[in-house]
Amino acid sequence: MSNVQTTYLKDYKAPEFGIKNCDLVFELFEDYTQVTNMMSIVKVDKNSKNIVLNSVDLELTELYLNDLKLKDTRYIIDKETLTVLDVPDDFKLIIINKIYPHLNSELDGLYKSGDIFCTQNEPEGFRRITPYLDRPDVMAVFKTTLVANREKYPILLSNGNTASSFKLDDGRHGITWDDPHPKPAYLFALVAGDLGVVKDTFKTASAKIVRLNIYTDKGNESKCKHAMKSLKEAMLWDEEKYGREYDLTLYNIVAVDSFNMGAMENKGLNIFNSAYVLADEDTATDANFMGIQSVIAHEYFHNWTGNRITCRDWFQLTLKEGLTVFRDQCFSADLNSKEVQRIEDVKALRERQFVEDASPTAHPIQPNSYMAINNFYTATVYEKGAEIIRMIHTLLGEENYRKATDLYFESFDGQAVRTDDFLWAMSKASGVDLKAFETWYHQSGTPKLHVEERYENGEYKLTLTQKVPNAVDGSEQKPYYYPLKIALLSDNGKEILAETLIVSKDKEEFVYKLKSKPVLSINRDFSAPVIVEQKENNYPFLMKFDKNSFVKYESTQSFGVLTIESIMEGKVVDEEYIKSFESLLNTDIDLSYKALLLELPTVSTLMQRQTEVDFELIYEAKEKLELHIATKFQDKLLDIYKKYHKPTCKDIDAKSIGERSIKNRCLKLLSALKNDEVIELANNQYNESITMTDRAVALDILENISPAFAEIAQADFYKKYKDDTLVMNKYFSILAASHREGTLDRVMALQNDNAYNELVPNLVRSLIGVFARNYKHFHAKDGYGYKFVVDKIIDIDKINPQMASGLAGAFKIYEKMNIENKKAMKTELDRVVSTQSISKNVYEIVSKIIKI
Ligand code: ARG
Ligand code: ZN
């Protein structure tokens, strides 16, 4: 597998041909689909003689050029291309080919999810449907006719608006769809099935009525309410915040169970992983509700940032993804709690992206090369990309940022552009020079900022030193340019000043004339995605006084980290930390925010600070602190729990969600006691609560502290939900994340459970993916955890390479592991790369991890 080809950004060439129109006819049968693809093509580069179309795993039936059937001497079929020789300047090409959607387990191109035909074409799925110039800078107007059995597939959908429909004598029917907006093939979609639908409408700012439909398996209609509400909220928000209106009269969403990712923004026909559409209080957690709101909005926002303006090539992916994630984060912040949203976003960034950025698979948000582009739908391109846009927003200010996005939309509507074009608009409209900022697009690794403070003779001197890691290939990287929000506090906690510094050099000094030494509050709101290293710290002070909700949280976390690290060194629990924790317990603040403050640092956070990772050591120390806190604050935690435990409340307003998060945080903290009282609390909560949020928490706690009660609750849960695959995901996740002895054996056995299906990505992620993030058992010193996951990677790769390469991501911390674990990992990873048939997706990740 070492002959995998690498694609480089520097090799980009403009397309030699353009496609004006693409008329498609799909005849969908149970055992195959016939595609008739009629394209009108123009030569852009007059020197080209042949047209090379992308074509993967296609069975060609017939080929016509300007209505003349082509002999096989006029074209060449290769593994991944179809070349038509000697084509004129302007011509019509008709291609008829066959595909087998029911056999497509990669879930790329046209495939079946249960009884539903659906598509996923980003980034390169369309070439598995029909030969095409499958690249985002080739945009055509599509017209699509779907023909299928009327009874089995009454619903036939594609992009745009319905033009006409017809019936055939053989029991089939057909519908033709017209999409007036030129688009790249990756935004093409079709759906056929016997689906239920929920309908609504939205009136745009200019008073146009848009029909909104959410399609789902019949019987699930009542679970689409929240998604529909979220869609309307997103439409309104984009009008108000960005001045963007929807541009068709129809917006369709379809929920399917088998989907590689979260969702897809196909023009006018979004296709969603059902996990991001379906919810009710009985089956979805509060986090699920929030996730739906944000993904529905994300895909909707792509209509402008992604579809109207798309990417020139896939190296520009962050152009649409970073920007759209930033937009959905702001949307969620506006609709819910700003402070909680920001912390959640930073947490997610640091748990996933920072780990990636510290590994051999680190890459700039705009990568230079790839083997499999599907591997680059990463936390870096998405979440770090969003942080980059957020910094631009900070540098420009709200008003200029809006002017700049207006200019971006005005200048590039209908085009496929680059991140440079975006930066041009940002800079042009605001007058802010972003030249020095561009490094963020081209360098990888998380920069560190070293902070030194000195107070002398009425002068407070802040010395900031950037520590920029080398690139993966060892080359040196330049310092960054970014906004750093800070404040100086007086010793009674008052803000003396708050400002945004610009950090741009290797080392720089900021001097303030002050009567006494201030306390520094730094990287407020997490204004830059960097790691701050401080010699001095004032965590207890900032926990108490800082008005910036992020710094308050950060100080709590940092203090927790130091406390656990000192336990790891064999010291006793720092009583000052315990005191600060106690005052947090007693503060009267927003409950969701408070629940975040009371969360101890995650294992991942602690792991990232180690030079040689040993999970056992981390666990032991963390468990010690947990037990200490639970013992000391048992009564207080119990009080809070009892105050907010309202088992019959299932509202999902901010207040109810806050109450559930705080009391579940308390229950979780209490569970360190592992005593009868806590087991009873968890067991009662499982039995009496009517929300999935509460029951999932209870189930998780019982699983970890009481095998006997866990078994009863799990049997009950299983009986109730075994037919609901979304709920079964939670069941598998809880068991796969368990700290109990024997978890690996149970995970192995669960693969034979009737509710499990290796073909469904959600289930694989819930069972195998969650196990691979179960530090205790995955990293067990005997190496069996590694062996199991590698066996699965090799097996699943044959079914679905994207899913397999996702699982391989669990090995990204390889380089940082202790010798013993590293050796065990290496043995297994070697097995992956020496597997003959391994996909380029998995090969790329693993070969980079072990550096071959
Ligand atoms: N554009 C989609 C989104 O972010 C993701 C599609 C990714 N697909 C893939 N096969 N990697 O909303
Ligand atoms: Zn996206």
pLDDT digits (tens, 9 = 90+) for 182-227: 999 999 999 999 999 999 999 999 999 999 999 999 999 999 999 9
722-852 belongs to which CATH class?
Answer: mainly alpha
Pocket of ligand 1 (CB under 6 A): 122, 260-261, 263-265, 298-299, 321, 374, 377
Alpha-carbon distances of 123 from 37, 158, 316, rounded to whole Å: 20, 18, 12
| Enclosing H/E stretch for 521 | strand 519-522
Q: Are 621 and 564 in contact (CB under 8 A)?
A: yes
Q: Which member of 106, 299, 339, 554 is catalytic? A: 299
Question: Under 8 Å CB-to-CB from 228, ≥6 apart: which residues?
Answer: 198, 200, 212, 214
148, 131 contact by CB (below 8 A): no
422, 434 Cβ separation under 8 angstroms: no
Query: What is the position in ligand 1's atom list of the atom closest to the CA of 377?
Result: 11
Each residue of 303-326: pLDDT tens digit? Answer: 999 999 999 999 999 999 999 999
Closest residue to atom 2 of ligand 1, CA basis:
264
Residue owning tokens 């609560």: 689
pTM exceeding 0.85:
yes
CA 814 to centroid of ligand 2, rounded, Å: 29
* pLDDT greater than 70 at residue 2: no
pLDDT, residue 298, reads 99
Question: Does pLDDT of 707 surpass 90?
Answer: yes
Mean pLDDT of 176-187: 98
| pLDDT at 1 (0 to 100) | 59
d(CA 414, ligand 1 centre) in Å: 20
In the chain, the percentage of residues whose pLDDT exceeds 90 is 99
Averaged pLDDT for residues 269-292: 98
Atom 8 of ligand 1, nearest CA residue: 122
Ligand number with the minimum distance to the CA of 264: 1
Angstrom distance (rounded) from CA 470 to CA 215: 48
The pLDDT tens digits of the residues spanning 430-470 come to: 999 999 999 999 999 999 999 999 999 999 999 999 999 99
Span 377-412, pLDDT tens digits? 999 999 999 999 999 999 999 999 999 999 999 999
Ligand 2 geometric centre to CA of 528 (Å): 22
Could you tell which of 127, 261, 324 is best to mutate to test the pocket of ligand 1, judged by most ligand atoms within 8 Å of the CB?
Answer: 261
In what order do the strands lie in the sheet containing 116-120?
A: 109-113, 116-120, 190-193, 155-158
Q: Ligand 2 centroid vs 81 CA: distance in angstroms?
A: 28
Tell me the C-alpha to C-alpha distance, in Å, between residue 258 and each of 117, 191, 729: 11, 13, 13
Q: d(Cα 42, Cα 44) in Å, to the nearest integer?
A: 6
pLDDT average, residue stretch 85-111: 98
Tell me the average pLDDT across 753-781. Answer: 97
Rounded to whole angstroms, the Cα distance separating 589 from 552 reads: 12
Confidence of residue 12 (pLDDT cuts 50, 70, 90): very high
Same fold yes or no, 7-193 and 722-852: no
Please say whether the structural domain 7-193 has been given the CATH code 3.30.1280.10.
no
Report residue 62: phi and psi, to 5°: -145, 160
**Structure confidence by residue, pLDDT tens digits, 604-622:** 999 999 999 999 999 999 9
Strands 507-513 and 459-467: antiparallel
Ligand 1 nearest atom to the CA of residue 382, by list position: 4
What pLDDT is stored for residue 536 in this prediction? 84
| C-alpha span between 215 and 196 (Å, rounded) | 6
Rounded distance from Cα 136 to ligand 1 centre (Å): 14
Per-residue model confidence as pLDDT tens digits over 136-172: 999 999 999 999 999 999 999 999 999 899 999 999 9
pLDDT digits (tens, 9 = 90+) for 645-680: 999 999 999 999 999 999 999 999 999 999 999 999
Tell me the domain boundaries of the chain. 7-193, 310-442, 722-852
- Centre of ligand 1 from the C-alpha of residue 374, in Å: 9
pLDDT of residue 551: 98
What is residue 3's predicted lDDT score, i.e. its pLDDT? Answer: 78
Kindly list the distances between the CA atom of residue 233 and the CA atoms of 297, 332, 469, 632, in Å, as whole numbers in the listed order.
Answer: 8, 10, 41, 45
Give the pLDDT confidence score for residue 535 in this predicted structure.
84
- Report whether pLDDT(374) > 80: yes
The CATH class, in words, for 310-442 is mainly alpha
- Ligand 1 atom index nearest CA of 374: 11
Instruction: Supply the pLDDT for residue 68.
Output: 97
Q: Quick check: is 616 catalytic? A: no
- Is beta strand 448-456 parallel, antiparallel or unpaired with respect to 531-534? parallel
pLDDT of residue 147: 98
Closest ligand by atom to 189 CA:
1
Rounded to whole angstroms, the Cα distance separating 278 from 834 reads 41
pLDDT tens digits for range 497-516: 999 999 999 999 999 999 99
Give, for ligand 1, the residue of 187, 260, 264 to mutate: max count of ligand atoms closer than 8 Å to Cβ: 264
Is residue 191 helix, strand or coil? strand
Q: Which residue has a Cα nearest atom 5 of ligand 1?
A: 264
Which one-letter amino acid corresponds to residue 773? R
Atom of ligand 1 nearest to the CA of 295: 12
What is the CA 658 to chain-centroid distance, rounded? 24
123 preceded by cis ω (within 30°)?
yes
Beta strand 250-256 with 209-217: parallel, antiparallel or unpaired?
parallel
Average pLDDT, the chain: 98
Tell me the three state secondary structure of residue 598. coil
Q: What percent of the chain lies above the pLDDT cut of 70?
A: 100
Distance CA 553, CA 391 (A): 20
**Choice from 311, 377, 383 to test ligand 1 binding pocket (greatest atom count within 8 A of CB):** 377
Mean pLDDT calculated for residue range 764-773? 98
Q: Which ligand has the minimum distance to the alpha carbon of residue 377?
A: 1
Ligand 1, residue 302: give the atom nearest the CA: 12
Q: How far is the CA of 377 from the centre of ligand 1 (A)?
A: 7
